[in-house]
Amino acid sequence: MLPLSSDALRQRLRSFASRAQPLRILLTLGSLMAVCSYTGHTDAVIPLFLGAIASALAETDDSWRGRFRAQLVTLACFAVLSFSVEALFGRPVLFIAGLAFAAFWLTMLGAVEARYKAIAYATLILAMYATLGIENQGAHGHDRGRESLLLLAGAGWYGVFSVLWCAAFPAQPVQARLVTLFTVLGNFVRFKASLFEPLRGIDIEQKRLSLAQLNAEVVSELNAAKESIFRRIGARAPTGRISRYRGLYLIAQDVHERASSSHDDYNALADAFFHSDLLYRCQRVLGLQGLACQRLASSIARREPFEVGEETVQALADLRGAIEHERARATTPERLALLASVEALARNLAQLDGQLAGASQPSARAGRTEMGLFNRSPRSWRDAVERVRRQLTPRSPLFRHALRLAIALAVGYGVMHVIHPAQGYWILLTTLFVCQQSFGDTVSRMGQRITGTALGVVAGWALLQLFPQPLVQSVIAVAAGVLFFATRATRYLLATAAMTLLVLMCFNQVGDSGLLLVPRLVDTAIGSAIAGLAVLLVLPHWQARRINELAATAMRSHAGYLRRIVEQYGTGPRDHLDYRLARRNDHNADAALSTAVSDMFREPGYVRPRAGIALRFLIRSHTLLSYLSALGAHRAALPDSPHMAVLRDAAEGAAAALDALAGGLQGGAIGDDPATELAVRAALAAAVAPAGDAGAAERTIHTELALVWLQIDALRTHAREWLQPGDDAAPAPLET
């Protein structure tokens, strides 16, 4: 076998570092198991393992300093709740009252930010682990307090590895985020290329819907990458790799805006150029740029220089040649207008290619653009408290989930005392894991939890029979813990099976875990049923009841983005923070609406009688965003002229119409078109852009604004259909 080269060895080490959390779990559980076996305290394995797992569940992406502070907060929360559980364990009324109180307020803590949401959720899980440990120690005659100390010791030991890992590999999480970001961005761009099929009868609306869902993935990864970068720079200017990664993130934002843009109706383009290769040329360029995004992801993963390649340059040259050929053949004003849209598209694709070329030296952007990032973390304790206070309303999905979870745990505790099952606290733990904020996620987890538990029980029974040796069972337990953290975000069924296997192997170190096989299945089924009934009966979170609010937010975000774009047609393009924030808010609102509509189709049919209208509204809203993105992609300083004055009035009128539509969606009634709007639209229809190359930019703006107004008309129509009297989707004072 040939020895590894230095480059191959470095690549292996980077790959090793990228699988961060499972490796930290391997080191933590392996060392804990070794110490317990060496000292003969195998009875301490269960609480130490469970404490480490809870600590890992509380972990979020952060710098080593941020992770250290978060670990101290986590240990403090763990200590308070675990010792409280021990103090109240033998007092059923006080115990369940305290648990329900903690479940509600810890869940509400998630309103502050993702870090506190993870800590709060992990704290609740640790409380459940504490009940399991106390129940188990009662059977073995151990002293009170010991279980909580062991849980905290396991959590603290994982925290040591976590902080040290963050210090040793400070930029690795950012690198991994950017790799994922450019991978999904490449998928988005390549799918966008499929819209340029010069074929008749293609379902463009279905493609638009799929594109909206892919766009939501890109937006999610953009947000995650930004937070990862921000946590490592704070108030100071970044240096080294973090500075380069910030430049790459800003490039991803610009590529996303350009790739999101649409320059005309795709069906009209397909009809006009059906016998031409023009659209195929567009498709090839965009497809190559999608591949370039994915190659950029690979270069970031390998930390190698990025080379754009010559294929796209040649494809762009071929596209320009095809445009000139069509211009020589075009004879009608309609065909010339559509050809102008293709020319605008070609300019946009050329600039997109320039953005990707800049990825070889992203730090060069520092001299040409503002690179500040917006901090969404709470500024102070008062700000954090205010965020929680704003969610203390029955209309808040978080409030509903918090109350639902508290009630579900109380019901589970009551059921446990009625039927007196063996290891009954698994019911509460299952309820906590399965009960999610949305109906679709809860139902999905129910099935996966029950199936995964059954699979884990069967695998555990078989492995206990095959490998009765404690050392082998210890190795299996550690491997199961690693598998759980490697799959919990992507394959929940397999993760559940792995956790069940870990528990069985650990319990077998101190007793006969065969006694747990049937109770584990029964308790999982009971806990899952309680969670399912809770999400169905206790303030159910039906997405149809939220569409009005989310759609209104999307319309306001469209208006804000449009106003920021129009400003820059006077001042010239500048990617300053206010502009990028308006753009990001608009994409976030579009992604939230897309996610809600997707979730709606996972809910019972009787609660979404008009889901089709919401689907069509989403498609129109995302199409409108694509036209706004095209306006943003072509920003340039244009001189004042009568035609530009008409365009500015039309843009401001469109923004005002979107604000009015947002107000109507929240108020439950869509008003008639005002006279001022009719005048603005008439002026836009009558305006004529200057001829020649000098008027190309104004013609593009004119075309995009006309398309924006068409989408506003369609959005109003769908909003009126949604808000028809007697419609179950209409807003109500209290959502039920």
Residues of the chain with CATH 1.20.58.220: 172-367
> CA 702 to CA 631: how far, in whole Å?
10
What is the rounded distance in angstroms from the CA atom of residue 192 to the CA atom of residue 194? 5
pLDDT value at position 691? Answer: 65
Q: What integer pLDDT is reported at residue 231 of this predicted model?
A: 83
Question: Taking residues 582-590, what's their average pLDDT?
Answer: 92
For residue 379, the model assigns a pLDDT of: 75
Residue 733, pLDDT score: 35
For the cut 90, the answer to whether the pLDDT of residue 551 exceeds it is yes
Least confident of 182-186, 279-283, 342-346, 516-520: 516-520
Look at residue 325 in the predicted model and tell me its pLDDT: 82
Tens digits of residue pLDDT in 424-457: 788 999 999 999 988 989 999 999 999 999 999 8
This prediction's pTM? 0.87
Secondary-structure percent of the chain, ordered helix, strand, coil, rounded to 5: 80, 0, 20
CA 290 to chain CA mean position, Å: 21
Using alpha carbons, list the distances in angstroms from residue 335 to 282, 324, 444, 697, 698: 17, 13, 50, 18, 18
- What is the distance between the alpha carbons of residues 49 and 44, in angstroms, rounded to a whole number? 9
Residue 366 CB contacts under 8 Å (≥ 6 apart), including other chains: 243, 247
> Cβ atoms within 10 A of the Cβ of 721, count?
17
pLDDT over threshold 70, residue 6:
no
Question: pLDDT at position 730, please?
Answer: 42
Rounded to an integer, what distance in angstroms lies between the CA atom of residue 416 and that of residue 157? 33
The reported pLDDT for the residue numbered 10 is 53
Contacts of 653 (CB under 8 A, 6+ apart): 676, 677, 680, 681
Closest alpha carbon to 627 in 433, 341, 429, 379: 341
Three-state secondary-structure class, residue 59: coil
If you compute the radius of gyration of the chain from its CA atoms, what whole number of angstroms results?
29
pLDDT digits (tens, 9 = 90+) for 512-542: 666 677 778 888 899 999 999 999 999 888 8
Q: How far apart are CA 483 and CA 499, in angstroms?
A: 8
The stretch 89-100 carries a mean pLDDT of: 89
Q: Which two tokens stand for residue 282?
A: 């567009």
- Per the listing, tokens 């695998």 go with 459
% of the chain with per-residue pLDDT over 90: 33
- Closest among 106, 77, 128 to 402, alpha carbons compared: 106
- pLDDT more than 70, % of the chain: 89
| Per-residue pLDDT at 272 | 73
Supply angle C-alpha 459, 460, 465, rounded to 5: 100
Given pLDDT bands bounded at 50, 70 and 90, which one contains residue 362?
low
Res. 2: pLDDT tops 50 = no
pLDDT tens sequence across 331-341: 777 777 888 88
pLDDT above 70 (res 617): yes
- Residue pair 421/111 in contact (Cβ under 8 Å)? The answer is no
Q: Would you state the pLDDT for residue 232?
A: 80
Q: Where in the chain is the domain with CATH 1.20.120?
A: 544-722
Question: Residues near 495 by Cβ (< 8 Å), separated by ≥ 6?
Answer: 452, 483, 484, 485, 487, 488
CATH code linked to domain 172-367? 1.20.58.220
What CA–CA distance (Å, rounded) separates 309 from 299? 13
Distance CA 450, CA 695 (A): 64
CB 500 within 8 A of CB 460: yes
Read off the pLDDT of each residue in 401-407 and give the average, rounded to a whole number: 94
pLDDT of residue 729 exceeding 60, the answer is: no
Whether the per-residue pLDDT at 399 is higher than 90: the answer is yes
Structure confidence at residue 369 as a pLDDT band (50, 70, 90): low
Q: CATH topology for 544-722? A: Four Helix Bundle (Hemerythrin (Met), subunit A) (1.20.120)
What is d(CA 49, CA 484) in angstroms, rounded to the nearest whole number?
A: 13
Look at residue 143 in the predicted model and tell me its pLDDT.
63
Mean local confidence (pLDDT), 288-302: 91
Total residue length of the chain: 736
Least Cα distance to 109 among 131, 93, 124 occurs for 124
Q: What is the pLDDT of residues 36-52, one digit of tens each?
A: 888 888 778 888 999 99
The pLDDT, as a whole number, for residue 727 is 46
Looking at the predicted structure, is the pLDDT value of residue 373 above 80? no
Asked whether the predicted pLDDT for residue 268 surpasses 90, the reply is: no
Number of Cα atoms under 13 Å in the Cβ half of residue 691 = 2
| Most confident option among 202-206, 358-362, 601-605 | 601-605
The least confident of 59-63, 376-380, 415-419 is 376-380
Q: How confident is the model at residue 553 (pLDDT cuts 50, 70, 90)?
A: very high
Q: Whole-number mean pLDDT of the chain?
A: 84
Mean pLDDT confidence for 191-209: 79
Contact 594, 618 (CB under 8 A): yes
User: Distances from the Cα of 568 to the Cαs of 439, 576, 653, in angstroms?
Assistant: 43, 11, 17
**What does the alpha-carbon distance between residue 541 and residue 599 come to, in Å, rounded to a whole number?**
10
Structure token pair of residue 661: 């539509």
Q: Read off the pLDDT of residues 146-158 as tens digits, 9 standing for 90 and up.
A: 888 999 999 999 9
